[in-house]
Structure 1
Amino acid sequence: MLRFLGLDRLLRLITRSLMYLWVRVQVSPNDLELLGIDPNRPICYVLQNRLLSSVLVLEAEMSHLGMPRPLSSMRRFGLREKHSLICLTQEHRNPLAKPRHAHSPRLVSLMDAVFEDPTLDVQLVPVTILWGRSPDKESSWLKILFADSWATPSALKQFITIILHGRQTILRMNPPISLRQLCDDTQSSERSLRKVSRVLRVHFRRQRTAAIGPDMSHRRTMRSDIIGSDVVQAAIAKEMETHDVTRDVAEARARIYVNEIASDYSYPVIRFFEKFLNWLWTRLYNGVTVNNFEVIEKHVADHEIIYVPCHRSHIDYLLLSYAIFTRGYMVPHIAAGANLNMPVVGSLLRRAGAFFLRRTFKDNFLYGAVFNEYLHQILSHGYPMEYFVEGGRSRTGRLLPAKLGMVNMTLRSYLRDHKRPLVFIPAYIGYEKLMEGGTYIGEMQGRPKEKENLFSLVMSIRKLKKVFGRVHLSFGAPIYLDQHLDTHMPNWRADGPAAADSAAFIPTSMALGLEISTGINASAVVNPINLLSLVLLSTPKHAIDEDQLAEQVALYKSLLAAVPYTERVTLTELDGPAMVAYGEELKILQRRKHPLGDLLYLHEEEAVLMTYFRNNTLHLFALPSLIAVLLLQCGDISDEELLRRVKSVYPFLKSELFLRWNEDELADVVAQYIDAMIDLKLVNRTRSGCLAPPKVSSEEYARLHILSRGLRQTLVRYHMTVTILNQRGTGKLTQQQLEELCHLLAQRLSFVREFSAPEFFDKGLFKGFLDTLKALGFIQVCGQGTIVFDKRLGGLAQEALEVLPSGIRQAILQVTLITDEEVNIALDALEASKERKKQRAAAKANS
């Protein structure tokens, strides 16, 4: 209608005049004669994308320079074209639409004219318009975020870009391309058209790469490859058959899944995050320390890298990428839960390299095929990747058992195609205070898990006024996938993709998950808060004399230095008094003045939170703590007997804490710890050659006693579980029922004793212990689903009983002495509670 009334020109003139009140354009090169443009021959300008702002800028600048205007007609050269402008591509924003590669109608028309008239030639003049300078020269967050990128911007984003960058706009003209010369090389109009389009696309890609860096967005560069792959096409055919839909509908669903999953890597957004995180770390933390980064530098050039960090906080996503990017390496593409794909936040994370996956997609084979193919495309193109093998954030501070979904998909992709060697890099992330600490404790105590949303994120900004100490990132020993497969699947190279269907695949994947978890723990960073929590939570009322606290944390540090867990474990540089002062500075420790010496203690709420930081490094003290327990309970004991008792408990500790030693290494390791504890006067060697604890009245005995209590809750859980099994009898309970019963009884015991930490009655820990009992053959699950066992379990219960103080033994016996009727009532109540929760969830979903 506007064109019919002749108002379109007026509207463009008004828009251009308003825009040029702000926009300033630098034309390059300064002397257009250097380009060799012949004004006596037809000229047609070529822009990569159709943006009104770019067209208006080109129109204005060509008019100022006395050049033919892009919106003028080409009729004076005998051509029918109303404008002298070609827009090479136009972004399709509808995810349901098939990607089209149709040529510009004007280019088709000009090509036909050149073929019809042998004397005609058209000069195609490529023009690149960049809104803003290179992001690395910008100082403003917004300017970085809205700098020019590969994606065609929306109208709103382009408007903001003009406001921010309009005064630094660059118009870069290039030497003309002879359409006649390109046509003379081919006999077919269609082939010439494809050639011209290809030449122009390559030209613009090179120009934009030189200005803003390479296009790393999988959403633009991989979408057609994913949809066209054999795997996805087979899934589309199955979707058509299963759901009785047409191919267009099935392919549309596949494209929706690609858009839902794929990252949209943007260098300006990465730079924006870098500046934001520089501000955040300064505001929130006392600093970020990175250890063992040389392992990345060694492998980044010739290996496909998968970073596998532990998952403690939402900060993890940002921290690892920040540490890598600021050291000059490419940010990995990060597997993130679909729950984080929130409005605004999800878009930013996607442009920072995140790709999103659903919690489960077992029943959606098309989604599974698309996701697997997307993962394979990332790996086969050599992009670094990051995912959390735990699956979710740890609520207890302990490393969670590996969930093998992503590991399995990685293995299948590598078996299918392994152009470059692949290496897993475990990474340990340690905090001194947690933003989510209060939320974690609430969830452990039974509060429903909070769903991530934009409101809760905005509310968390209040915490930016708090100080959260330092953050520690440490990279572990590399795990080479080739070597792992050679060990567990010797024929994998010959079998190729078929190896993924072999019987050895699942055990290989499980072994890899365990190796990753062990590698994470083997690169731990021991900070002052870890040591302070270990000591204070081992005291009856979480209170201790100031000097005694300083001496005990210094003792722990000395013990770790004397027997290093691995060479990659990093110890705090602070001494005992400095660690105490640091705990007060972070307002974790409270002081009570006393004439005989000040006491330091934890508030009850703070004590619960501190269990998280104790659990971060509990694995480093598991063996010395167990040795201390045995010495205090047994008195004089021979080295052989001590080792035998350690070996009886060690498999359960190894499974729960992902300890690194095999059973045949225990003798040497235990001997090293004993020598170190003798040097620290925690253990005495008697004349008969036995080991004995110090005198009860000595300071050393008190220190040994505190050391022993670090493992007490773990041993209590073990003993309580086997006690309940023995009391109930073989074949009476299913594993799920036993886990529920242990959970309830542990809750009761925590009220009777000082085990106030919610992780003491965590169902996951009981499940892990029962799984280890099954793996070792102490229990079995029969056909009816109940647990059966023999006399060996009774012997295990007796051994566990002997390492606990008499008061705790009595408390466990009292709590576990319940009748079958009471057990059934409790389990029925739990089932009813679960059913009510399901009904409420279903009603909420339907509403």
Structure 2
Amino acid sequence: MALLTSLLQPLRPPFRKLLARWVDLRLVEPDPHTLGLDPNKPTLYILSRTALSDSLLLEAFCARHDLPPPDARLHLGPHALKACVPLPRPGRRLWGRLPPAPAPFAALIDELKQHPDQDVQLVPVSVFWGRAPGKTFGFWKLLAADDWKLTGRMRRLLSVLINGKDVELHLGAPLSLRELSDGRSSELTSRKVSRLLRVHFRRVRTRVLGPDLSHRNILIEGVVASPVIQRTIEECATALGQSPQRMRRRAWRYGREIASNMSYPVLRFLAQLLHRLWNQLYAGVRVNGLERAKALAGDHTLVYVPCHRSHIDYLLLSYVLYREGLMPPHIAAGRNLNMPMVGPLLRRGGAFFMRRSFKDNRLYSAVFNEYLHRLLSRGHPVEYFIEGGRSRSGRMLTPRPGMLAMTLRSYLRGTHRELAFVPVYIGYEKVLESSSYLKELQGSVKKEESPFDLVRVLGQLRQPFGQVSVNVGEPLRLGEFLDGCIPSWRQAENDTRPPWLTRAVPALGRELSRRINAAASLNAVNLVALVLLATPHRAIEAELLKEQMVMLTDLQRLHPGGVHLSLPGGTPDEWLTAAHTLGFIERRDQALGELILANSQQATLLTWYRNNVLHLFALPALVAFAFRNNARLDRDTLYELLAPAWPLIDHELSVSLPGNFRQALDTTLESLVSLGLLRHENGIWRRPPSHEADSERLSLLGRLIQPSLERGYLLLAALLRYPSGSLTREELEEHSRQLAERLTLLSGLNAPEFFDRRLFSGLLDTLEEEGWLWREGSHLCFDKALAAAQLRGRVLFDPGLRHRLRQIARQ
């Protein structure tokens, strides 16, 4: 072997040049200049396997990026070692496994013990030629791509030839060999270093390739043959008076209806197709915070929970994960998407389909639960939308309990790895469904999906859609969450339906909603919508609009409404141009200066984009609204006014606050003072004089929260008109909805989202959780405290607005 190596040594330079010309690195992670290599320490590169192609590729890569050369030799004392070595693996022979070759670290460790001033930095390197079996269609592609199996020399040669344009190189953080030496013998320390490196390489492969995919039929067979499903089949057969064989065939049909058929060739095909589609549709796809998911992907089962604003959310997220070196997830999709042509393609891209409701079908529910459990227990990444469906209002919808409850029950059954939820916020400057959302915002009935929708999308490809942002929020480790929420949860081992589940699921949904919103993306259209819709007639001077947009971004820099918020780049002029190019506003030159206007349709559609990010400004807007009818307030009075209203706003908008409400209120007051929107002196806060520009800016900010406060006022006014125990929840929801609809008509607004019944349902949920309401039978009850709180809250509203709301409530 040594002779062969010496004979091939003169051929390495031409082979390296040839490989460098042929190979394109699709992904390098991380940026090599961020590794922080110490130029004064020798560098030893560790490859995950013995492969000439990997070492030659690494040599060409290091030469291109001015990194220490892997083909050099390290000289420590009498020892000379090549600067790039593979991690030894156990060998194989016909009658068993060979012991692994000794790791090359023992001699280095001995030398370091004799020279305390020296050190060696180890850099683990993983190279992936293709992402998994079957990178693209064809038998040779299937043979040549990387997978969990070790590749032989012939297969590696095929992989270099076929997958040379789809190579990923992952560099690990440098490790100090001296720090890893803990005083034990050199042999034991060498084994420890080898074990640490093997764990690192295994985590990287798990993150990139995911678990090995079982054949779909084998997976379905395992689901149907599981003890849980067999027991359910016997019970359903007895209850329905049918034979177990017939129920077993039905379980098989359910399994085929549900299960995905993820195909690596299709994933690769979709990656290329979507790459062209995004470049055609969008001016750019910005990705922020993905390193949080990458840090967990190696040893956690990931459940991605994005907000749901568009049908392309799941395509976009899978594309981003694939391009950034992570395994695309299995995606829970509604059965309505299992359409001809579309459904089979989505299924091969990782979608598994679920019925909208299956609580009355015990066998289907059991099959779906078992299928989800098998995905999670094997470590497959999963994705679903906790809102259930797309948000037609633009705001975060109340989480549905179904998938969250099934995930919790699966976790309680036991999984091999810890489970972590990854919240994802997807922000569009313009969604493909703008026209259908406009119709629905104007009151039209939701239209069912159809394969012909694809034709309509293709007709829009030449339209501008601006940018799209994919922001990853703070992951939530399920075990840690349950420790804080239900300290005794570990006592429910193997109990998949503990009594505390009904408390944990809503709490988990609310926390995930807050984490999604805390990673919001503020863009040009959001900013224009926030300012323009706060004006009485949807018209504003261009200069004032630009000043207000700057103020809103400055406010987020001082007091961000989300921990992982992203702000728009560019200037106010560029933001205004972007909104106009996308068709959301009209620009009209006038002798005294340019005006910005929105017609009725534009204003209605802008409400959707305003609601995307309204939660970011909820508390500053609430404080600003308090000064609409109050010229001066001290901290305690302001707290007493706003504290009762905050839980209602928090529930509607899923706001993430740093600390408690009082601390957040203090920070908000400081931010508003620093921006000149409030004056502070001797513990008293005052609004600016009405003739100053800051007064108008404060008023525009306060109007952002006015619709939410008006809804709450109408609901309480409708409830308090009757004695306690007079109304059912359904009656109050419908009566409040009618009052809100009347208010929009009398105000000349075309905004059906303002009187969405689900918003009033959420308000009632919060009032019950806070103890203001309770039920006796089916009727809602309250005491004098609620009337007193409403009376105190009236101070927030100026007399004119209060009179208008009171007149409508009396009707």
Deviations 1:561-617 (A, max 9, x none): 011234311111223222222222223221111110010111210111111111111
Residue 704 of structure 1 pairs with residue 698 of structure 2: yes
Deviation at 1:441, TM superposition (A): 3.6
Deviation at 1:780, TM superposition (A): 2.0
- Contact in 1 for aligned 2:251/2:367 (Cα 8 Å): yes
In structure 2, relative to structure 1, the CA distance for the partners of 1:422 and 1:597 (3 Å cut) is: same
- Contact in 2 for aligned 1:149/1:267 (Cα 8 Å): no
Work out the CA distance in 1 between the residues paired with 2:354 and 2:214.
17
Work out the CA distance in 2 between the residues paired with 1:303 and 1:321.
18
Residue 637 of structure 1 pairs with residue 633 of structure 2: yes
In structure 2, relative to structure 1, the CA distance for the partners of 1:585 and 1:145 (3 Å cut) is: farther
Once the two structures are superposed, the pairs formed by residues 803-842 of structure 1 within 5 Å of their partners are 803-818=796-811
Once the two structures are superposed, the pairs formed by residues 89-104 of structure 1 within 5 Å of their partners are none
Which amino acid letter does the alignment assign opposite residue 510 of structure 2? L
Please point out which of 745, 749, 752 is paired with 2:743. 749
In structure 2, relative to structure 1, the CA distance for the partners of 1:146 and 1:584 (3 Å cut) is: farther
Which amino acid letter does the alignment assign opposite residue 793 of structure 1? L
Q: Counterpart in 2 of 1:822?
A: none
Q: Counterpart in 1 of 2:546?
A: 550
Q: Counterpart in 2 of 1:374?
A: 371
Deviation at 1:422, TM superposition (A): 0.7
Work out the CA distance in 2 between the residues paired with 1:147 and 1:712.
63
Once the two structures are superposed, the pairs formed by residues 542-621 of structure 1 within 5 Å of their partners are 542-621=538-617
Work out the CA distance in 1 between the residues paired with 2:350 and 2:504.
29
Q: Counterpart in 2 of 1:290?
A: 287
Q: Counterpart in 1 of 2:730?
A: 736
In structure 2, relative to structure 1, the CA distance for the partners of 1:293 and 1:316 (3 Å cut) is: same
Which amino acid letter does the alignment assign opposite residue 676 of structure 1? S
Once the two structures are superposed, the pairs formed by residues 612-691 of structure 1 within 5 Å of their partners are 612-661=608-657, 665-686=660-681, 688-691=682-685
- Contact in 1 for aligned 2:333/2:351 (Cα 8 Å): yes
Deviation at 1:796, TM superposition (A): 2.5
Q: Counterpart in 2 of 1:425?
A: 422
Once the two structures are superposed, the pairs formed by residues 45-84 of structure 1 within 5 Å of their partners are none
In structure 2, relative to structure 1, the CA distance for the partners of 1:743 and 1:307 (3 Å cut) is: same
In structure 2, relative to structure 1, the CA distance for the partners of 1:690 and 1:525 (3 Å cut) is: same
The SS at the match of 1:356 is: strand
Which amino acid letter does the alignment assign opposite residue 319 of structure 2? Y
In structure 2, relative to structure 1, the CA distance for the partners of 1:726 and 1:471 (3 Å cut) is: same
Please point out which of 702, 705, 715 is paired with 2:709. 715
Please point out which of 470, 473, 477 is paired with 2:474. 477
The SS at the match of 1:426 is: strand
In structure 2, relative to structure 1, the CA distance for the partners of 1:689 and 1:146 (3 Å cut) is: same
Q: Counterpart in 2 of 1:789?
A: 782
Gaps of 5+ in 1: 1-133, 151-167, 170-211, 819-847
Residue 312 of structure 1 pairs with residue 309 of structure 2: yes
Work out the CA distance in 2 between the residues paired with 1:652 and 1:213.
42
Work out the CA distance in 2 between the residues paired with 1:599 and 1:145.
59
Q: Counterpart in 1 of 2:66?
A: none
Please point out which of 477, 497, 500 is paired with 1:501. 497
Deviation at 1:288, TM superposition (A): 0.7
Once the two structures are superposed, the pairs formed by residues 243-254 of structure 1 within 5 Å of their partners are 243-254=240-251
Matched positions, count: 620
Once the two structures are superposed, the pairs formed by residues 506-521 of structure 1 within 5 Å of their partners are 506-521=502-517
Which amino acid letter does the alignment assign opposite residue 668 of structure 2? Y
The SS at the match of 2:569 is: coil
Work out the CA distance in 2 between the residues paired with 1:645 and 1:462.
52
- Contact in 2 for aligned 1:217/1:263 (Cα 8 Å): no
Deviation at 1:215, TM superposition (A): 6.4
Work out the CA distance in 2 between the residues paired with 1:326 and 1:807.
56
Q: Counterpart in 2 of 1:384?
A: 381
Q: Whose helix fraction is larger, Structure 1's or Structure 2's? A: 1
Please point out which of 386, 390, 393 is paired with 2:390. 393
Which amino acid letter does the alignment assign opposite residue 390 of structure 2? R
Deviations 1:524-561 (A, max 9, x none): 11111111100000001111111111100000000110
In structure 2, relative to structure 1, the CA distance for the partners of 1:489 and 1:138 (3 Å cut) is: closer
Structure 1 runs (4+) deviating above 4 angstroms are: 134-139, 143-150, 212-215
Work out the CA distance in 1 between the residues paired with 2:132 and 2:394.
41
Q: Which TM-score applies when normalising by structure 2?
A: 0.74
Q: Counterpart in 2 of 1:443?
A: 440
Deviation at 1:488, TM superposition (A): 2.8
Work out the CA distance in 2 between the residues paired with 1:555 and 1:800.
28
- Contact in 2 for aligned 1:395/1:440 (Cα 8 Å): yes
Deviation at 1:344, TM superposition (A): 1.1
The SS at the match of 1:424 is: strand
Deviation at 1:145, TM superposition (A): 9.2
Which amino acid letter does the alignment assign opposite residue 764 of structure 1? R
Once the two structures are superposed, the pairs formed by residues 35-46 of structure 1 within 5 Å of their partners are none
The SS at the match of 2:309 is: coil
Work out the CA distance in 2 between the residues paired with 1:307 and 1:147.
33
- Contact in 2 for aligned 1:423/1:481 (Cα 8 Å): yes
Work out the CA distance in 2 between the residues paired with 1:435 and 1:213.
31
Once the two structures are superposed, the pairs formed by residues 138-153 of structure 1 within 5 Å of their partners are 144=137
Residue 455 of structure 1 pairs with residue 448 of structure 2: no
Residue 350 of structure 1 pairs with residue 347 of structure 2: yes
Deviation at 1:348, TM superposition (A): 0.2
Work out the CA distance in 2 between the residues paired with 1:494 and 1:671.
41
| Identity score, percent | 39
Which amino acid letter does the alignment assign opposite residue 624 of structure 2? A
Q: Counterpart in 2 of 1:57?
A: none
Q: Counterpart in 2 of 1:838?
A: none
Which amino acid letter does the alignment assign opposite residue 255 of structure 1? W
Deviation at 1:453, TM superposition (A): 1.5
Once the two structures are superposed, the pairs formed by residues 17-32 of structure 1 within 5 Å of their partners are none
- Contact in 1 for aligned 2:442/2:604 (Cα 8 Å): no
Deviations 1:423-474 (A, max 9, x none): 1111111111122123234334442221111123323322222111111110
Work out the CA distance in 1 between the residues paired with 2:637 and 2:393.
33
Work out the CA distance in 1 between the residues paired with 2:130 and 2:287.
26
Deviation at 1:417, TM superposition (A): 1.4
Mean Cα deviation higher: 804-813 or 392-401: 804-813
Work out the CA distance in 2 between the residues paired with 1:272 and 1:590.
41
Q: Counterpart in 1 of 2:203?
A: none
Q: Counterpart in 2 of 1:528?
A: 524
Work out the CA distance in 2 between the residues paired with 1:356 and 1:397.
25
Q: Counterpart in 2 of 1:771?
A: 765
Work out the CA distance in 2 between the residues paired with 1:378 and 1:805.
56
- Contact in 2 for aligned 1:636/1:692 (Cα 8 Å): yes
Work out the CA distance in 2 between the residues paired with 1:466 and 1:243.
55
- Contact in 1 for aligned 2:211/2:380 (Cα 8 Å): no
Deviation at 1:788, TM superposition (A): 2.0
Work out the CA distance in 2 between the residues paired with 1:738 and 1:145.
62
- Contact in 2 for aligned 1:695/1:701 (Cα 8 Å): yes
Which amino acid letter does the alignment assign opposite residue 604 of structure 2? V
Deviations 1:206-237 (A, max 9, x none): xxxxxx99962552331221111001001111
Gaps of 5+ in 2: 1-128, 144-160, 163-208
Deviation at 1:755, TM superposition (A): 4.3
In structure 2, relative to structure 1, the CA distance for the partners of 1:588 and 1:443 (3 Å cut) is: closer
Which amino acid letter does the alignment assign opposite residue 300 of structure 1? A
Q: Counterpart in 1 of 2:226?
A: 229
Work out the CA distance in 2 between the residues paired with 1:319 and 1:622.
29
The SS at the match of 2:388 is: coil
